[in-house]
Amino acid sequence: MDPMPGYKLACLSLFILIALYLLIKSAYRKQKLIRFSSEQGCGPPPGTPNTLFGLLQIIQLLQALRQNRFLDYVNELFSNHGSTFVYNTFGTRSIWTTDPENIRACLSTQSHDFEVGTARHKVIMPLVGHSILTSDGKTWSQHRALLRPNFMKAELVNLDIFEKHFSNFVTCIPNDTSTFDLRGLLQKLTMDISTDFLLGCSTNSLLLHAYEEKDDFAEAWETAMSWIALRAHLGALMNWIPHPSFFKACGIIHTYADELVSTALASRDKMDQGEQRYIFLHELASDVTDPVQLRDHVISVLTAGRDTTAELLSCTVNVLAKSPRIIELLRDEVDQLGGQKPTPGALKEMKYLRNVFLEVLRLYPVGPVNARIAKKDTTLPVGGGPHGMQPIMIHKKQQVLYCVYGMHRRQDIYGQDAGEFRPERWESRRQRWDFLPFNGGARQCLGQSFAMMEASYILVRLLQEFDGIELRDSRPWQEHLGLILSNLHGTFVGLRRKSFVDSNKV
């Protein structure tokens, strides 16, 4: 037999050396993690079974998603395994938690150890480009520093912009108390307000609805949002499924925004002298000259804010229609305005209105689940050991999923009535890290004050215009997980107008 050629021997030797290197590296890495875990006093967290590489968990999760009961499934896991546990799937160990201390660490005290990661960025980047929603680290900090001052100015917005579009909204509501989907109209209302506020030019989708005309921008927006939700569920598989309608919708939205950005940049020098009201795009154009960057920022803000306010209002009306006692208390507070349209100061003084919204956001947070990726080996404060009080080890690139929906319904935090809608709980309760409807830490929603003012104004005006709200759908609330959490069944109601409205007031 001929001796083995030299190159074959060299290849075999190289293969053996690489295998040895990987084994040694793995052993060294394992020992390093054991040492680090010991130094930090970490204990092992409980975990889901790893039978067949966690295949059972994957099947159950997919079934829950298909049946629109993912959040119930997640809460069952927390009931079975505790407030922090390891979720085992195909050799991947992610950490799931509803513990306020762990969430605070991810978002605030140890936020430098975590990032959003590229997976979410890829889902929405075709629409929002390189913006605050698709960045981490230094780039994200730069985007936030640019946007934050403009949101602080936005709190001074004239409420006339709300009233103008609310008037269009009212004309679209049936006069005969017939059934209609309130959520659909609220989405058009918040779109009209958001585009008017952000771009200085409204989509006027309510007017198009009233005249039964085609609304290309709104249709493109709905298409884009649906695809973004699907892309988020598909994960890495999204690249293998063609969806030209998504990219076409993104193109329509970009074209619309590009035209307004071009106008804003062209008239930038005249803004200081002639601007009569606050327009987000015009303010931003004083600091940003790149038209694509301007467009990306504006669309990212619209993406984050339009549907969230509509869903908050839709869910609130759904709850109020089932709660005569609560809606009467709220009407008593609204009646103190004496029929006058609400001012920013008056809205801030309406404590029960605030408590109603807080309770809706507790039970139905628009962002029920979120996640972070560890940038390095680190720890979380609790969840390990026999009593769950020791820190737990988090490996570099390990995912930490935190469930706000589950945390908001914990009986050990909110009491035995945690699952009940009771606005009075907020009369004495302070907002802490166990209540995160707008996320927390540095990535807390920049537009939350504007969103709450918008929602407050619309609900007050709705109660001033209509004295009867009847829910026309007996089906219980059921989750629909898209870009945000919403009710799968919509909000089908009948509204009865007040028989007499003083024209000198509302």
Q: What is the biggest distance separating any 2 CA atoms in the chain, rounded to whole angstroms?
A: 108
pLDDT over 90 (residue 164): yes
pLDDT at 505: 56
* Higher-confidence position of 30 and 429: 429
The confidence band for 447, taking pLDDT boundaries of 50, 70 and 90, is confident
Residue with tokens 């936005």: 154
**Which of 255-264, 378-387, 471-480 is predicted with the least confidence, judged by mean pLDDT?**
255-264
pLDDT at 158: 78
Q: Where do the H-state alpha helices sit in 423-496?
A: 448-465
pLDDT at 155: 62
pLDDT over 60 (residue 2): no
* Higher-confidence position of 214 and 408: 408
**Which of 9-18, 97-106, 113-122, 291-300 is predicted with the least confidence, judged by mean pLDDT?**
9-18
Burial tier of 104 (Cβ tally within 10 Å: 0-12, 13-18, 19+): buried
pLDDT over 50 (residue 224): yes
Per-residue model confidence as pLDDT tens digits over 451-499: 999 999 999 999 999 998 999 998 999 999 888 899 999 999 999 998 6
Q: Which of 381, 282, 302 has its CA nearest to residue 128?
A: 302
- CA-to-CA distance for 264 and 259, rounded, in angstroms? 9
- CA-to-CA distance for 449 and 487, rounded, in angstroms? 24
Tokens in use for 385? 């050991």
- CA-to-CA distance for 326 and 332, rounded, in angstroms? 10
Tokens in use for 328? 């009467």
Q: Where are the domains of the chain?
A: 132-364+445-461
pLDDT at 229: 81
Residue with tokens 């990661």: 117
Over residues 111-124, the mean pLDDT reads 88
pLDDT at 329: 97
pLDDT at 265: 75
Task: Report pTM.
Answer: 0.89
- CA-to-CA distance for 419 and 402, rounded, in angstroms? 19
The confidence band for 503, taking pLDDT boundaries of 50, 70 and 90, is very low
Per-residue model confidence as pLDDT tens digits over 352-364: 999 999 999 999 9
Strand ranges in 245-284 using DSSP code E only, listed in sequence order: none
- CA-to-CA distance for 201 and 347, rounded, in angstroms? 26
pLDDT over 50 (residue 504): no
Q: Tell me if 165 sits within 8 A of 196, measured CB to CB.
A: yes
- CA-to-CA distance for 38 and 28, rounded, in angstroms? 15
Per-residue model confidence as pLDDT tens digits over 309-348: 999 999 999 999 999 999 999 999 999 999 999 999 999 9
Q: How far is CA 486 from CA 65, 304, 477, 498, in A?
A: 14, 14, 9, 29
- CA-to-CA distance for 10 and 13, rounded, in angstroms? 5
With both helix axes pointing from N to C terminus, report the angle between 182-199 and 291-321 in degrees, rounded to the nearest 10. 150
φ/ψ of 94, rounded to 5, equals: -100, 155
Percentage of residues in the chain having pLDDT higher than 70? 92
Q: Tell me if 467 sits within 8 A of 473, measured CB to CB.
A: no
pLDDT at 213: 63
The confidence band for 500, taking pLDDT boundaries of 50, 70 and 90, is very low
Over residues 162-189, the mean pLDDT reads 94
Tokens in use for 202? 């409204």
**Which of 285-294, 413-422, 429-438, 453-462 is predicted with the least confidence, judged by mean pLDDT?**
285-294
Tokens in use for 208? 């198009």
Single-letter amino acid, residue 393: M
Burial tier of 14 (Cβ tally within 10 Å: 0-12, 13-18, 19+): exposed
First to last CA, the chain: 102
pLDDT over 50 (residue 165): yes
Tokens in use for 398? 């390990």
Per the rule left: phi > 0, alpha: psi between -120 and 50, beta: everything else, 26 is alpha
Positive or negative: CA dihedral 178, 184, 185, 186: positive
pLDDT at 114: 95
The confidence band for 62, taking pLDDT boundaries of 50, 70 and 90, is confident
Q: Tell me if 426 sits within 8 A of 123, measured CB to CB.
A: no
* Higher-confidence position of 44 and 266: 44
pLDDT at 103: 98
What's the mean per-residue pLDDT of the chain? 88
Compute the C-alpha angle 236/239/243, nearest 5°. 130
Q: Where do the H-state alpha helices sit in 155-212?
A: 160-171, 182-199, 205-210
CATH class for the domain made up of 132-364+445-461 = mainly alpha
Percentage of residues in the chain having pLDDT higher than 90? 55
